[in-house]
Amino acid sequence: MLVARITLAKTDANCLDCPIRHRAVCASCTSSELEELNRIRQYRTWKAGETIAWAGENMSFVGSVVTGVATLSSTLVDGRRQMVGLLLPSDFLGRPGRGEVSYDVVAATETTFCLFQRDQFERFLSKSPSIAKELLEKTLDDLDSAREWMLLLGRKTAREKIASLLVMMARRDGALHRNEPGDGLVFPLHITREAMADYLGLTVETVSRQISAMKRDNVIQLMDTRTIRVPDFNRLVEQSAASSGFEDAHHALPETTAKRA
Which of 114, 142, 170 lies at the terminal end of a domain, its last residue?
A: 142
CA dist., res. 47 & res. 163, Å (int): 28
pTM of the full predicted structure?
0.77
Write out pLDDT tens, residues 1-23.
344 444 444 455 667 778 888 78
What is residue 198's three-state secondary structure?
helix
Lowest mean pLDDT among 11-25, 80-94, 223-237: 11-25
Same domain, 24 and 79: yes
Range of the domain at 26: 3-142
Q: pLDDT at residue 103 above 50?
A: yes
Q: pLDDT at residue 157 above 80?
A: yes
Local structure of residue 98 (DSSP, 8 states): B
Q: pLDDT at residue 203 above 60?
A: yes
Same domain, 113 and 167: no
Q: pLDDT at residue 36 above 70?
A: yes
CATH of the domain at 249: 1.10.10.10
pLDDT bucket at 80, cuts 50 / 70 / 90: confident
What is residue 59's three-state secondary structure?
strand
Same domain, 125 and 86: yes
* Cα 242 to chain centroid, rounded: 19
Q: What is the pLDDT of residue 177?
A: 61
Q: Give the residue with greater pLDDT, 30 vs 200.
A: 200
- Within a domain: 89: yes
**Cβ count within 10 A of residue 189:** 23
pLDDT bucket at 178, cuts 50 / 70 / 90: low
CATH of the domain at 107: 2.60.120.10
